[in-house]
Amino acid sequence: MTDGTSGGERRTSLHGFWSSRFTFILAVTGAAVGLGNIWKFPYIAGQNGGGAFVLVYLLCVFGIGLPIMMSEILIGRRGRRNPIATMQLLGEEESGSRAWGLVGVMGVMGGFLILSYYSVIAGWTMAYVVKALSGAFAGASPEALSDQLDGLRGSVLQSGFWHTLFMGITVSLVALGVERGLERAVTFMVPALVVIMLILLGYSVTSGQFGAGLEFMFQPDFSRLTGDSILAAMGQAFFTLSVGMGSVMAYGAYLPQETSITRTSIAVVSADTAIAILAGMVIFPIILSNGLDPTQAGMGLIFKTLPLAFGTMTGGVVFGPLFFLLLGFAALTSAISLMEPAVAWVVERWHISRASAAITVGSVVYILGFATVLSFNVLSGFTFWQGTLFADIDYLTANIMLPLGGLFITVFAGWVMCRNSTADELDEHAGPTYRIWRFLAQYIAPAAVVVVFLNSIGVFD
């Protein structure tokens, strides 16, 4: 039996365990790979001028995101409860303060907000499966495709319908408890998505602007890097890795004790990054070869540009629907992870069934989602803070809540938890990877988050 400060091995999860290290990798990969890689990364990178942004993004992914992912998983496994209860429990154990539970509370709220808009965009990808099947892309001009997207998002009824359907599917799967089965679907779904993207890459290579696309993406032009675009790069790193709000902490709670957190995290982060970069390599050449401007394209980017490729390439009638279907699947496994902290909390706190918890949480998220649905029609003219309500929710969650949550998590793992506890979980007492993790978690990640925040509000100008 261990002493009071290292109780990890005595605890057991109330929700069962992943059956193997492999299922866990699949689950976390499923959580990480989603709209963030394929829909969000290209348009944010475009908006922020490409090259230099991508470089900052990569630095954030490996220097901040990776150590925070490891911190989240180790905290989750040690606490073995929902993120709020885990942070309270470990907070008490390691520092005598249950106030750390507030980090979990912020995470649960962040998950609600992110999922509310995530579901709307995922709904559009499902709408695009139908559009692709009906042949709507064949030979369509950029203007016609732009009108098609405006038709969909401009209609409360259509956008709302697909949001309803996507949330309905997500809640049903969580309620039925088949997520674990779904993680197995990731085994072929992520590779299938990669295969289609490689086919699209073949199209991009022959688009005539491949070199220009790569140059836009990889040639750093630091004059385009503002404080806000550095913040956006950091926010995107958190978003794409699903860290900063307890999703992977919740998943870590179900992780068998013997699995290597370090190796798992490195695998997931590498796969996630490779997929985002691949998406960029596909999309930028297509934008440029159609005479469009990547810095002006905005959040409708993939919906307006990828159909141009599907509409002209050989086999596009097959690859088009398949691509949007697989993207919808990728979004589903991410959506499930966004619900998990809240659902696990409701189940443990109120002792109700997983099904009731999923329906309760899902209903709140569903209603919140209409803020995003309405952002592109009824409320499109209203600017609240950063722009539309959608832009505000996105900015608040990705650029503020996730980095802030991540900051607290890494400070907790690096400074509040005693060395024995973290070394125990990372199972590398004085090994080099443990020392690298600890250095990143204690110094680099917290300092970077603080510096990026301060920089974005102009402190260093």
**Stretch touching ligand TRP by CB under 6 A, among 17-25, 49-57, 144-152, 234-242:** 234-242
What is the closest distance, in whole angstroms, from the C-beta atom of residue 334 to ligand TRP in the complex? 4
Nearest Cα residue to 229 out of 20, 349, 436, 49: 49
Among 13, 116, 204, 240, binds ligand TRP (CB under 6 A): 240
Q: How far apart are CA 49 and CA 10, in angstroms?
A: 50
Q: How far apart are CA 50 and CA 411, in angstroms?
A: 31
Q: Does residue number 399 form part of the binding site for ligand TRP (CB under 6 A)?
A: no
What is the closest distance, in whole angstroms, from the C-beta atom of residue 340 to ligand TRP in the complex? 9
Q: How far apart are CA 214 and CA 208, in angstroms?
A: 12
Measured from the CB atom, is 35 or 389 closer to ligand TRP? 35
Total residues interacting with ligand TRP, rule: CB under 6 A: 16
* Cβ contacts of 318 within 8 Å, gap of 6 or more: none
Among 47, 148, 209, 242, binds ligand TRP (CB under 6 A): 242
Among 259, 334, 399, 456, binds ligand TRP (CB under 6 A): 334
Six token digits for residue 424:
């125990």
What is the closest distance, in whole angstroms, from the C-beta atom of residue 65 to ligand TRP in the complex? 11
Q: For the residues of 14-27, what is the DSSP string, one character each?
A: TT---SSHHHHHHH
Determine the residue type at 245: M
Nearest Cα residue to 87 out of 100, 69, 106: 100
Q: Is the dihedral of CA 38, 184, 170, 241 positive or negative?
A: negative
Measured from the CB atom, is 108 or 245 closer to ligand TRP? 245
Six token digits for residue 246:
């307890």
Question: Please, what is the Cα angle at 35 between 87 and 85, to 5 degrees?
Answer: 10
* 3-state DSSP assignment of residue 177: coil
Q: How many residues does the chain have?
A: 461
Q: Which position's Cβ is nearest ligand TRP? A: 36
Measured from the CB atom, is 204 or 397 closer to ligand TRP? 397
Q: Does residue number 338 form part of the binding site for ligand TRP (CB under 6 A)?
A: yes
Measured from the CB atom, is 32 or 346 closer to ligand TRP? 32
Measured from the CB atom, is 322 or 402 closer to ligand TRP? 402
Measured from the CB atom, is 217 or 249 closer to ligand TRP? 249
Q: Is the dihedral of CA 419, 420, 426, 427 positive or negative?
A: positive
Measured from the CB atom, is 245 or 389 closer to ligand TRP? 245
Measure CA 312 to chain center.
31
Six token digits for residue 200:
């699209």
Considering only residues 25 through 44, tell me which ones interact with ligand TRP, judged by CB under 6 A. 31-32, 34-37
Among 86, 204, 337, 422, binds ligand TRP (CB under 6 A): 337
What is the closest distance, in whole angstroms, from the C-beta atom of residue 38 to ligand TRP in the complex? 8
Measured from the CB atom, is 82 or 240 closer to ligand TRP? 240
What is the closest distance, in whole angstroms, from the C-beta atom of residue 4 to ligand TRP in the complex? 31
**Residue 221 — left, alpha, or beta (φ > 0 → left; ψ -120 to 50 → alpha)?**
beta
Q: Does residue number 247 form part of the binding site for ligand TRP (CB under 6 A)?
A: yes
Q: Does residue number 189 form part of the binding site for ligand TRP (CB under 6 A)?
A: no
Q: For the residues of 338-394, what is the DSSP string, one character each?
A: HHHHHHHHHHHHH---HHHHHHHHHHHHHHHHHHHHHHTTTTTT---SSSSHHHHHH
* 3-state DSSP assignment of residue 460: coil
Measured from the CB atom, is 402 or 440 closer to ligand TRP? 402
Among 90, 200, 245, 411, binds ligand TRP (CB under 6 A): 245
Considering only residues 91 through 130, tell me which ones interact with ligand TRP, judged by CB under 6 A. 114
User: Site residues (CB under 6 A) for ligand TRP?
Assistant: 31-32, 34-37, 114, 239-240, 242, 245, 247, 334, 337-338, 402
